[in-house]
Each structure stands twice: as C-alpha cells, then as structure tokens.
C-alpha cells in the first residue's frame, strides 16, 4: 500500500464513523453508535500507520509540513475522542469530533510533504509537536462538551427538549468531563512547552526566543492555569466554566493558525 492509499483509508473510516454517529442521533440506536466507535478505532490504527510510514519514507522532518501536522492533529483528535467517549460512554461527542478528524485527515492526504524549514526533529521535537496537538484536541473536546452543557441547561430551564436531550448525560457529569478534558489538555500543553524549550536550546542555543507562538502559548498556559484554579477553588463552575473553556479554545485556534498568518516565526503551525 502507498502512503496516500493508507491516508485515504483513514479518511474513509473517519467519514464512515461520522455517518454512523449522525444516524445514531436520528435513530437513537446505540448499536449504530458502536459501529461508529469501531470505525474510529480502526481509523486510529490506519492513521498511526500513515504517520509511521510517512516518517519512515520522508524522515521526521515531515512533521514540519501540513501533511505531517494535520495527520498528527487527526490522530490526536480521534485519540481524545476515543478516550473520553469510552470512559464516559459519551457517544454523542462523536457527532462533533469525528468530522474534525476526517477534515484533518483529508487535509493531510492532499497536502504536500515539503517542509518550510529543515530542522532536525528527533524524539524531543516529535514529543513537542504531538503533545501540543493533543493538548489542542483536548481543549477542542472541552469546548464541544461545554456547548452540550449550555444546550442542556437551556433546555432544562425552558422545558423544551431537542433531539440532543436524551443523548446528553447530567449537567454534573458534563461539568466533570469538561474539567477532566481541560486538565488533560493542560498537562499535554505543559509537556509541549518544556520539550519545546529543550528543543529550542538544541537548535538555537536558547530556551526562549520570543517567537510569537511561544509568547501566545505561554499566555494560553496561564489562562488555562487560571481556569483550573478558579474551578478547583469553587469560584467558577457550571456555565462560567463553559464560557471560559470556549474562550480558551478560541485563543488556541488563533495560536494554531492566526499567528502564522500575521507574524513570521520558526513554527510551521
């Protein structure tokens, strides 16, 4: 099998998972959601094979390309989904996350593997990139669950229930999931920052170079540290936690895409 055929297989599996989760929402049959879950699991394996084959044939520098970054982002997204959906039986999250995994996988398949800069990646660099993208995926998941929380809260107050109502767990459980996913993402972003500093020292002789992405990542880290502190201290929970989660993810998206469109730095993404 070629690299692209493995990538296309992954894309098809993620699209198949998306289709089944949408059917699950309409039919309300758990068996259909389980098909989506298995398609996601097999897609995770082919996604992993795609990344491994890509690195084996083109070297770890391919992780500095859109093909490498989006393949990592797709597997990070599906990994976060599989972890939390399996742990909490939150099948409805598949409706929102598998389309993103499919989109990222599709971009990876049809992107070029030509790096912007030729930096040696190695174990430290790979850990830095993967942990950053996994953190982003976890924050995205926390926002999706936050939106589900706000939808359920509004429905309970108005006593007008949509198709989502019977598929969403209690508000308390959703709040717990949001907190755990933010903690999950915060842990990975912290690992990314430390490995990034070590990698920077190896490449440029300094742990900190005031690169725009470094600065915004540090700001993001402080914001999420504040969110966790406010929640643990009992000052901000419920809807306030949801709003903070959404704001944090918007900042993450700006960091992932917007910084590179406005400023020049060493990061490809």
pLDDT in tens, 172-188: 888 888 899 999 999 99
Q: What's the pLDDT score for residue 256?
A: 63
Q: With 70 as the cut, is the pLDDT of residue 235 above it?
A: yes
Distance CA(7)–CA(1), nearest Å, equals 10
**Among 60, 91, 115, residue at a domain's last position:** 115
Same domain, 100 and 125: no
Q: What's the pLDDT score for residue 14?
A: 96
Cβ–Cβ < 8 Å for 75, 83: no
Same domain, 159 and 106: no
Same domain, 46 and 59: yes
Same domain, 101 and 204: no
Same domain, 40 and 156: no
Distance CA(37)–CA(17), nearest Å, equals 7
Same domain, 263 and 133: yes
Same domain, 45 and 140: no
Same domain, 39 and 131: no
Q: With 60 as the cut, is the pLDDT of residue 267 above it?
A: no
Q: How many domains does the chain have?
A: 2
Q: What's the pLDDT score for residue 103?
A: 93
Same domain, 123 and 236: yes
Q: What's the pLDDT score for residue 30?
A: 79
Same domain, 136 and 263: yes
Mean pLDDT of all residues belonging to the chain: 82
**Among 115, 141, 163, residue at a domain's last position:** 115
Q: With 60 as the cut, is the pLDDT of residue 254 above it?
A: yes
Cβ–Cβ < 8 Å for 266, 117: yes
Domain around 21: 1-115
92-151 pLDDT, tens digit each: 888 888 999 999 999 998 887 665 555 666 778 778 888 888 888 899 889 988 888 888
Q: Which of 103, 177, 115 is nearest to 146 (CA)?
A: 177
57-96 pLDDT, tens digit each: 887 777 777 888 889 889 999 998 998 888 888 878 888 8
| Average pLDDT, integer, range 41-66 | 86
Q: Which CATH number fits the domain that encloses residue 188?
A: 1.20.120
220: confidence class by pLDDT, cuts 50, 70, 90: confident
Handedness of CA 205, 210, 214, 221 (dihedral sign): positive
| Average pLDDT, integer, range 37-49 | 94
Q: What's the pLDDT score for residue 211?
A: 73
Most confidently modeled of 163-167, 232-236, 242-246?
A: 242-246
Both structure tokens of 114? 């030509």
Whole-structure pTM value: 0.81
DSSP-assigned states of every residue in the chain: --HHHHHHHHHHHHHHHHHHHHHHHHH--HHHHHHHHHHHHHHHHHHHHHHHHHHHHH-GGGGGSHHHHHHHHHHHHHHHHHHHHHHH--TTHHHHHHHHHHHHHHHHHHS----SS----HHHHHHHHHHHHHHHHHHHHHHHHHHHHHHHHHHHHHT---TTGGGS--HHHHHHHHHHHHHHHHHHHHHHHHHHHHHHHHHHS-S----HHHHHHHHHHHHHHHHHHHHHTTSS-THHHHHHHHHHHHHHHIIIIIHHHHS--S---
Residue 40, classified by CB atoms within 10 Å of its CB into exposed (0-12), middle (13-18) or buried (19+), is: buried
Q: What's the pLDDT score for residue 213?
A: 75
Q: How far is CA 33 from CA 28, 79, 109, 128, in A?
A: 9, 17, 26, 33
Q: With 70 as the cut, is the pLDDT of residue 50 above it?
A: yes
């Amino acid at each position: 099998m070629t690299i692209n055929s493995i990538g296309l297989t992954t894309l098809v599996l993620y699209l198949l998972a998306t289709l089944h989760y949408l059917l699950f929402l309409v039919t309300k049959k758990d068996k259909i959601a389980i098909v989506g879950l298995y398609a996601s699991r097999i897609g995770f394996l082919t996604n992993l094979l795609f990344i491994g084959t890509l690195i084996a044939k083109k070297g770890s520098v391919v992780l500095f390309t859109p093909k490498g970054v989006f393949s990592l982002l797709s597997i990070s997204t599906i990994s976060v989904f599989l972890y939390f959906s399996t742990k909490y039986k939150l099948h409805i999250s598949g409706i929102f996350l598998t389309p993103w995994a499919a989109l990222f996988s599709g971009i990876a398949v049809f992107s070029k593997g030509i790096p912007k800069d030729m930096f040696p990646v190695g174990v430290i660099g790979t850990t830095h990139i993967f942990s950053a993208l996994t953190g982003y995926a976890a924050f995205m998941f926390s926002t999706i669950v936050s939106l589900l929380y706000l939808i359920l809260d509004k429905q309970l107050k108005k006593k007008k229930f949509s198709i989502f109502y019977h598929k969403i767990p209690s508000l308390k459980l959703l709040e717990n999931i949001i907190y755990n996913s933010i903690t999950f993402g915060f842990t990975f972003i912290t690992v990314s920052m430390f490995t990034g500093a070590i990698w920077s020292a190896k490449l440029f002789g300094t742990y900190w170079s005031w690169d725009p992405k470094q600065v915004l990542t540090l700001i993001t880290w402080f914001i999420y540290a504040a969110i966790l502190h406010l929640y643990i201290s009992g000052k901000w929970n419920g809807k306030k936690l949801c709003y903070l989660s959404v704001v944090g993810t918007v900042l993450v998206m700006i960091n992932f895409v917007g910084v590179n469109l406005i400023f020049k730095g060493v990061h490809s993404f």
